[in-house]
Structure 1
Amino acid sequence: MNQQKRIEILTRLRDENPHPTTELHFTSPFELLVAVTLSAQATDVGVNKATAKLFPVANTPQAIWDLGVDGLKDYIKTIGLFNAKAENVHKMCRILLDQHGGEVPESREALEALPGVGRKTANVVLNTAFGWPTIAVDTHIFRVSNRTKFAPGKDVRAVEDRLEKVVPKEFKVDVHHWLILHGRYTCIARKPRCGSCIIEDLCEFKDKTDI
């Protein structure tokens, strides 16, 4: 795919959704960090249902630490892998309290040192909480980037690196939200909805549908 086509795709996505953001519900960097950590192998809808009960009771590192692991599990037991996630979030809170004054660090290295936080989660927090031009590649972005030929790559890191190279600076803060939403609602996994896609004429996917 040539760069002119990429810029047109990004322009159309921006025109349709000028201020995209995550569909996870949060009101602080800490709430976002917890929500993203819980969202691994789970849906945003499922996470939001759990955090709607958790956050009014405990939405700071100290409050979640005070809940204890078992107390936290009671709030997130509807989410997949909740046992391991409760352990990680509880340990995370202790580290935030001991090493970061109870605040979420604005540092990739510090974020990735937290239990349960990998590169993708760190990218989401840096982007959504702090406005960094990071690109968190999930399954939706991986699929859209490869299917459309926008930024093909054999694994998520290869796609991230490719996106970093081909996405112009003016689009970088928002591009991962646009691509996630596009993959979630239009360029879906089993049968993409090409007939209702605003970038269908620019996409280089060969087996387009009429949906």
Structure 2
Amino acid sequence: MNKTKRFEIFSRWQAENPHPKTELEYTTPFELLIAVILSAQATDVSVNKATRKLYPIANTPETIYALGVDGLKSYIKTIGLFNSKADNVIKACKMLIDLHNSTVPDNREALEALPGVGRKTANVVLNTAFGQPTMAVDTHIFRVANRTKIAPGKNVLEVEKQLLKFIPKPFLIDAHHWMILHGRYVCTARKPKCGSCIIEDLCEFKEKTEPSG
């Protein structure tokens, strides 16, 4: 895919949704961090249901740590892998209290040192909470990048590097949100909605469904 096409794709996404946001509900970098840890292999909808009950009771490292693992589990038991997530969140809260003055660090190394935080989670926090130009490649972004040919790659890290290299600079901060939303609602895994896709004429996916025109 050439530079002109990529620029046009992101221009259209921006025109349709000028201020894209994560669908996870949060008000502070800490709430975002916990929501992203909880969202691994779970839907944003299920995480939001849990945090709507949790955050009014506990939404700081100290208050969540005070709940303890079992106390936290009672709030997040409807989310997949809640046992290990509760364990990780409590340990992460302890580290934030002990090492970071109860604030979420704004650098990758410190974030990835927290239990339950991998590269993807760190990228979401750096981008969404701190406005850094990172790409958190989840299944939706991996699929969209490869299917459209915006930035093909064999694995998540390869796609992340390709996206950072090829996405035009003006769009980099919001690109990750546009691509997730596109993958979640339009370029779906089983049957992409090509006929109603605003970038259908620019996309280089060979097996398009419901071709327009």
Q: Same fold (TM over 0.5)?
A: yes
**Which residues of 2 match residues 8-19 of structure 1 at below 5 A?**
8-19=8-19
What residue number does 1:28 align with?
28
Q: CA RMSD in A?
A: 0.7
Q: Letter of the aligned partner of 2:68 in structure 1?
A: G
Q: Letter of the aligned partner of 1:135 in structure 2?
A: M
What residue number does 2:76 align with?
76
Matches of 1:113 and 1:107 in 2, distance apart?
A: 10
Q: Letter of the aligned partner of 1:123 in structure 2?
A: N
What residue number does 2:135 align with?
135
TM-score, normalised relative to structure 2 = 0.98
**Which residues of 2 match residues 1-211 of structure 1 at below 5 A?**
1-210=1-210
Instruction: State the percentage of identical aligned residues.
Output: 72
| Runs ≥4 residues deviating over 3 A | none
Q: CA deviation at 1:185?
A: 0.2
Q: Deviations over 1:113-143 (max 9, x none)?
A: 0000000000000000010011110000000
Residue 53 of structure 2 aligns to a residue whose secondary structure is helix
Residue 136 of structure 1 aligns to a residue whose secondary structure is coil
Q: CA deviation at 1:209?
A: 1.1
Matches of 1:68 and 1:2 in 2, distance apart?
A: 52
Matches of 2:131 and 2:44 in 1, distance apart?
A: 21
Q: CA deviation at 1:22?
A: 0.4
Count of aligned residue pairs for this structure pair:
211
Matches of 2:207 and 2:166 in 1, distance apart?
A: 24
- Do the aligned partners of 2:30 and 2:60 also contact (CA within 8 Å) in 1? yes
The unaligned stretches of length 5 or more in structure 1 are none
Matches of 1:137 and 1:21 in 2, distance apart?
A: 16
TM-score, normalised relative to structure 1 = 0.99
Residue 57 of structure 2 aligns to a residue whose secondary structure is coil
Matches of 1:65 and 1:34 in 2, distance apart?
A: 12
Q: CA deviation at 1:30?
A: 0.2
Q: Letter of the aligned partner of 2:35 in structure 1?
A: A
The unaligned stretches of length 5 or more in structure 2 are none
Q: Deviations over 1:28-50 (max 9, x none)?
A: 00000000000000000000000
